Amino acid sequence: MFLASRNFCCGGIRTCQLRTDLLSRSIKHSTSATMPFRHKNTRRIEGLDSNVWVEFTKVAADPSIVNLGQGLPDISPPSYVKEELAKAAAVDRLNQYTRGFGHPSLVKALSQVYEKVCGRKIDPFTDILVTVGAYGSLFSTIQALIEEGDEVIIIEPFYDCYEPMVKMAGAKPVFIPLRYKNDGNSASSADWVLDPAELANKFNSKTKAIILNTPHNPIGKVFTREELQVIADLCIKHDVLCISDEVYEWLVYKGNKHIKIAMLPGMWERTVTIGSAGKTYSVTGWKLGWSIGPEHLIKHLQVVHQNTLYTCPTPLQEALAQAFWIDYKRMDDPDCYFYSLSRELESKRDRMAQLLKEAGLKPVIPDGGYFMIVDVSTLNVDLSDVDEKQPYDYKFVKWMIASKKLSAIPLSAFCGPETKKQFEKYIRFCFIKKDSTLDAAEVILKNWNKQ
Amino acid sequence: FLSHCLQAKMSRPVQARRLKGVEKNIWVEFVKLAATYSKVNLGQGFPDFPAPDFLTEALMRALARENHMLHQYTRAFGHPPLVKVLAQLFEKLLGRELDPMTNVVVTVGAYQALFCCFQALVDEGDEVIIIEPFFDCYESMVKMAGGTPVFVPLRPNPPKDGKLMSSADWQLDPAELASKFSQRTKAIVLNSPNNPLGKVFSRGELGLIAELCVKHDVLCISDEVYEWLVYDGKQHIRIASLEGMWDRTVVVGSAGKTFSATGWKVGWAVGPDRLLQHLRTVHQNSVYHCATIAQDAVAQSFQRELMLYGKPESYFIQMPKELQQKRDWLVQSLDGVGMKPIIPEGTYFLVADISQFKSDVPDVPNSDEPYDSRFAKWMVKNKGLAAIPLSTFYSEAHKNNYTNFIRFCFAKEEATLKAASDILQKWKQEKTS
């Protein structure tokens, strides 16, 4: 008989301790209270249990706090989207299983919309997979194509799930930061760039994929054709896949154009492009997304899908399909929701930027997306007496929530371990908020310096 | 050097090794066949009658409310109203206090709850015991998690008096079951009521499994999606309520099956925090949130059921009553044409022995495909009646053990069941003439 004791810590902000004792199996126990229990988590999820959202959505859940943290709209989705869901749920067979890889009317609508955007034929049944949000697409893509021994390049700052998903697949994330090139007074997301030589150095024989996010969360950068070409050249040279997270593809502001890296020569066959109904139609709670790409890649995502959740909800997919048809028909019309939402958000962006500047903060004006990062170091808030061993931005946000009743997300949540110092003076605001929310934020920011 | 690297990369398949052996899926094939050929579809398991009014009305009410936050993200591990009512309901059913925040996780259908279980708890090298016949995803999910499935069959013990078999006549051999537990056994998957047979495991049978789990310190993944579809006054017994089992069991359930709305894809896992915390980790790294509005409507429906619990208007009482009638009707139809149905104690599936009926479909010697699969394909193409071959629910090694059975789904309108009966009657007449 032997006893072994094991302590381990869950990674992240909160630590927990579990002790497991191993006892000889020949001992029979009839009660569970003092039962030896050897069951801990699998290796694949070791250290992946903490999550910035779980921590910060709890903190900001207080309704007296003006919540500009988590990226969810508090504006209403377009009425026809809601109407289509009501219509769908009234049809009996639409409350039962649909096609696993995507409801036929939805994949057909998606193929039409994206054929128009891309100028190439997209087969609705082989080139598209519908998933539970873009999140589900990221998971399916990574599980399908990434494994132990692979390296995956992730551009910092990054949407936080990329790192744990790559780790859960057994692969190694390789980080490369966007760096701020100090070109002048205006701080724009375009000022944040990759160093081409630094990027090239990250590619080696183990590199399986690079994850691209454009328009970028959290900075709002819209990668230019030239920047995408640098990435594409490296992908082709090293035979690397590109996972292109384009959930904010329609939210691009004046003077900018969203370019799909999959459309660059040599890239379609090695790129999976991910989109989101939640971001397209302001319905984050519908959790529908899609992966579009060549059959020889999508078929593997479909295998993951059929072994994870099999099919997505039918009535939501049907409603989304109908909404897409409505907007597809007016894609040449400025009233199309894809463009009208962008215009609405641009004025909110400008208002937000103005308010932040007046409060003495330095916002980075995003060219796309609905987030804005802000340099808070100019305020010189001294938090050295705060006990926690957290980065400055975490402490700042908690302080701001408590003392100013305004929430945001700390940028170091979006960084790998090496760059946290570089980004800890930034916090992220979300501006897809109704006027009254922005009004409330305005009051707080205008009174900021009064204590 | 570079071209050597590229060559090495290009000679390696692009997909991850975890997909090896899980690429095929029988539903993709059979759903396509049914869509192409069937006039009457008793194949894939979904109702062709409407979901209950109170469910769709709950969705309409949610849509009519001015609260458009119902279209935005909710709590990742489950919409608060839903986890609260699930905790309330399962407290009643399991006889213990439950914390909605730590003892319940909402998932995208029971399917995703199962996925979370295997990913959270099964490592490479772990063995997982699966009782045959089984819902096919268990095997592929265990494999994708790097585990080794270990199969143990339910064996038919036909009644001596020549009466029709019941699903209760299919049983585990206790010694055989015990022999499957090893040092490497991580978990056993239990599905009661069982798809495809309809077996409702008795307290004694569950006690046997529980004893082995406790003795070998093994987890139990208990798929109870058909928990409300139990007939003839039988009782669905929850293994998590047996001695020593709560701490080592994850109970999986489904709104799709509970409320006849398979397309809503709302499911859950109930269990101790020390197991569910790991499912939460998988969930937050795979789908993160489930659709808010569907969860909201399901919560409202459960609130209704909790109020009507035990009363005749309860859907949990009405639904099995209605389905029992359909079961009996189909049993009669099949028996009448010479197919021998195994009377299910639960679920909305029924397996029938076609050995007396099979003459039309020729035997193909040296064929890889089991007979029942060829029969089911022939039947849908030539008679327009879709059903699923039982060999689908067996491991590769055992596919040829039971090749004379097909599974019918009877969660269908009267008209559908009648149409099925007409096809079978006509077919029988053609054979005898």
Of chain B residues 124-143, which have a CB less than 8 A from chain A? Answer: 124, 137, 140-141
Q: Are residues B352 and B203 in the same domain?
A: no
Predicted confidence (pLDDT) per residue in B366-401, tens digit: 788 899 999 999 999 999 999 999 999 999 999 888
The verdict on residue B334 lying in a domain is yes
Other C-beta atoms closer than 10 Å to the C-beta of A88 total 24
Burial grade of A25 (CB within 10 A; 0-12, 13-18, 19 or more): middle
Other C-beta atoms closer than 10 Å to the C-beta of A191 total 18
* Beta carbons of B285 and A161 less than 8 Å apart: yes
A186 CA: distance to closest CA in chain B (Å): 34
Indicate the fold that domain A79-329 takes in CATH.
Answer: Aspartate Aminotransferase; domain 2 (3.40.640)
Q: Are residues B294 and B345 in the same domain?
A: no
- Expressed in angstroms, the distance from the first to the final Cα of chain A is 66
Q: Are residues B252 and B233 in the same domain?
A: yes
Q: Nearest CB to B22: which of A237, A296, A307?
A: A307
Predicted confidence (pLDDT) per residue in A320-346, tens digit: 999 999 999 999 999 999 999 999 999
Q: Which distant-in-sequence residues (6+ apart) come within 8 Å of A61 by Cβ? A: none
| β-pair type (B349-353, B385-386) | unpaired
Tokens of B8: 């090495």
* Beta carbons of A29 and B59 less than 8 Å apart: no
The verdict on residue B106 lying in a domain is yes
> Could you tell me the sign of the dihedral formed by the alpha carbons of B88, B91, B97, B103, in that order?
negative
Report which of residues A28 and A392 the model is more confident about.
A392
- Kindly state which CATH superfamily the domain A50-75+336-447 is placed in: Aspartate Aminotransferase, domain 1 (3.90.1150.10)
Predicted confidence (pLDDT) per residue in A108-119, tens digit: 999 999 999 999
**Does residue A266 register a pLDDT over 70?**
yes
> Could you tell me the sign of the dihedral formed by the alpha carbons of A406, A407, A408, A412, in that order?
positive
From the candidates A309, A317, A370, which should be mutated to test the interface with B, based on the most B CB atoms within 10 A? A309
Predicted confidence (pLDDT) per residue in B73-101, tens digit: 999 999 999 999 999 999 999 999 999 99
| Rounded Cα–Cα distance for residues A78 and A68 (Å) | 21
The verdict on residue B19 lying in a domain is no
Sheet holding B340-342, edge to edge: B340-342, B349-353, B405-409, B388-389
**Residues of the domain holding B343:** 24-50+315-432
**Does residue A95 register a pLDDT over 70?**
yes
* Beta carbons of A36 and B217 less than 8 Å apart: yes
Total number of domains in chain B:
2
Of chain B residues 337-356, which have a CB less than 8 A from chain A? Answer: none
Tell which phi-psi region holds residue A184, choosing left (phi > 0), alpha (psi between -120 and 50) or beta: left
Task: Give the per-residue pLDDT at B255.
Answer: 98
* Beta carbons of B286 and A308 less than 8 Å apart: yes
Task: Give the per-residue pLDDT at B67.
Answer: 85
The CATH number linked to B254 is 3.40.640.10
Of chain B residues 298-337, which have a CB less than 8 A from chain A? Answer: none
CB pairs under 8 A between A and B: 254
| Average of per-residue pLDDT across A401-406 | 92
Contact between residue A128 and residue A121 where contact means Cβ atoms under 8 Å apart? no
B353 CA: distance to closest CA in chain A (Å): 28
The verdict on residue B17 lying in a domain is no
Task: Give the per-residue pLDDT at A185.
Answer: 57
ipTM score for this prediction = 0.95
Contact between residue A101 and residue A125 where contact means Cβ atoms under 8 Å apart? yes
The verdict on residue B113 lying in a domain is yes
**Does residue A15 register a pLDDT over 80?**
no
Residue of B nearest to A312 (CA): B265
> Which of B263, B282, B308 lies at the terminal end of a domain, its last residue?
B308
Q: Are residues B245 and B347 in the same domain?
A: no
Predicted confidence (pLDDT) per residue in B137-159, tens digit: 999 999 999 999 999 999 999 88
* Beta carbons of B263 and A94 less than 8 Å apart: yes
* Beta carbons of B264 and A313 less than 8 Å apart: yes
| Average of per-residue pLDDT across A10-27 | 33
The whole-angstrom distance between residue A301's C-alpha and the CA centroid of its chain comes to 19
Q: Nearest CB to A89: which of B9, B47, B56?
A: B56
Q: What residues of chain A lie within 8 A of the CB of B62, using their CB?
A: none
> Which of B249, B282, B308 lies at the terminal end of a domain, its last residue?
B308
Q: Nearest CB to B71: which of A146, A283, A315?
A: A283
Q: What φ, ψ does residue B77 adopt, rounded to 5°?
A: -90, 5
Q: Are residues B211 and B265 in the same domain?
A: yes
The verdict on residue B205 lying in a domain is yes
Closest to A230 (Cα-Cα) out of A197, A188, A263, A268? A197
Q: What residues of chain B lie within 8 A of the CB of A239, using their CB?
A: 6, 9-10
B154 CA: distance to closest CA in chain A (Å): 25
Task: Give the per-residue pLDDT at A73.
Answer: 93
Task: Give the per-residue pLDDT at B156.
Answer: 95
The type of residue at B323 is: L
Q: Nearest CB to B290: which of A93, A164, A287?
A: A287
Contact between residue B337 and residue B249 where contact means Cβ atoms under 8 Å apart? no
B388, β-bridge pairs: B407
Q: Are residues B196 and B109 in the same domain?
A: yes
User: What does the mean pLDDT of chain B come to?
Assistant: 94
Q: Nearest CB to B216: which of A25, A75, A205?
A: A25
The verdict on residue B6 lying in a domain is no
* Beta carbons of A89 and B290 less than 8 Å apart: no
| Average of per-residue pLDDT across A171-199 | 89
Q: What residues of chain A lie within 8 A of the CB of B59, using their CB?
A: 85-86, 89, 315
* Beta carbons of A285 and B17 less than 8 Å apart: no
**Does residue A10 register a pLDDT over 50?**
no
Closest to A403 (Cα-Cα) out of A382, A388, A389, A431? A382
Q: Are residues B161 and B245 in the same domain?
A: yes
Residue of A nearest to B55 (CA): A89
Q: What residues of chain B lie within 8 A of the CB of A319, using their CB?
A: none
| Rounded Cα–Cα distance for residues B374 and B367 (Å) | 10
Task: Give the per-residue pLDDT at A14.
Answer: 32
B4 falls in which pLDDT band (50, 70, 90)? Answer: low
Task: Give the per-residue pLDDT at A17.
Answer: 32
Tokens of B261: 């709305």
Contact between residue B270 and residue B256 where contact means Cβ atoms under 8 Å apart? no
Measured CA distances, A414 to A62, A409, A420 (Å): 24, 9, 8
**Does residue A58 register a pLDDT over 80?**
no
Tokens of B347: 């679920």
Q: Are residues B173 and B197 in the same domain?
A: yes
Q: Are residues B92 and B137 in the same domain?
A: yes
B7 CA: distance to closest CA in chain A (Å): 9
**Does residue A450 register a pLDDT over 80?**
no
Q: Are residues B373 and B276 in the same domain?
A: no
Of chain B residues 272-291, which have a CB less than 8 A from chain A? Answer: 274-275, 277-278, 280-282, 284-291
The verdict on residue B12 lying in a domain is no
B207 falls in which pLDDT band (50, 70, 90)? Answer: very high
Q: Are residues B254 and B356 in the same domain?
A: no
**Does residue B281 register a pLDDT over 50?**
yes
Q: What residues of chain A lie within 8 A of the CB of B23, using their CB?
A: 303
**Does residue A255 register a pLDDT over 80?**
yes
A2 falls in which pLDDT band (50, 70, 90)? Answer: very low
| Rounded Cα–Cα distance for residues A357 and B236 (Å) | 64
* Beta carbons of A96 and B263 less than 8 Å apart: yes
| Rounded Cα–Cα distance for residues B115 and A308 (Å) | 6
Residue whose token pair is 């305004």: A406
**Does residue B2 register a pLDDT over 70?**
no
User: What does the mean pLDDT of chain A come to?
Assistant: 89
Q: What residues of chain A lie within 8 A of the CB of B3, using their CB?
A: none
E strands, A164-233, where? Answer: 172-177, 179-180, 192-193, 207-213
> Which of B308, B331, B347 lies at the terminal end of a domain, its last residue?
B308
Domain boundaries, chain A: 50-75+336-447, 79-329
Task: Give the per-residue pLDDT at B432.
Answer: 76
B420 falls in which pLDDT band (50, 70, 90)? Answer: very high
Predicted confidence (pLDDT) per residue in B290-299, tens digit: 999 999 999 9
Q: Are residues B148 and B46 in the same domain?
A: no
Predicted confidence (pLDDT) per residue in A187-243, tens digit: 899 999 999 999 999 999 999 999 999 999 999 999 999 999 999 999 999 999 999
- Count the helix, strand and coil residues of chain A and give each as a percent rounded to the nearest 5: 40, 15, 45
Q: What residues of chain A lie within 8 A of the CB of B10, using their CB?
A: 239
**Does residue A184 register a pLDDT over 60?**
no
The CATH number linked to B413 is 3.90.1150.10
| Average of per-residue pLDDT across A408-426 | 90
Q: Please indicate if any CB of chain A lies within 8 Å of the CB of B50.
A: yes
A193, β-bridge pairs: A179
A144 falls in which pLDDT band (50, 70, 90)? Answer: very high
Three-state secondary structure call for residue B330: helix
Q: Nearest CB to A32: which of B25, B244, B282?
A: B244
A48 CA: distance to closest CA in chain B (Å): 7
Tell which phi-psi region holds residue B75, choosing left (phi > 0), alpha (psi between -120 and 50) or beta: beta
Q: A8-12, A63-67, A169-173, B287-291: which has the minimum mean pLDDT?
A: A8-12
Tokens of A375: 């340099």
| Rounded Cα–Cα distance for residues A293 and A270 (Å) | 8
| pTM exceeding 0.90 | yes
Q: Nearest CB to B263: which of A38, A77, A97?
A: A97
The percentage of residues in chain A with a pLDDT greater than 70, rounded to a whole number, is 90
Task: Give the per-residue pLDDT at A125.
Answer: 97
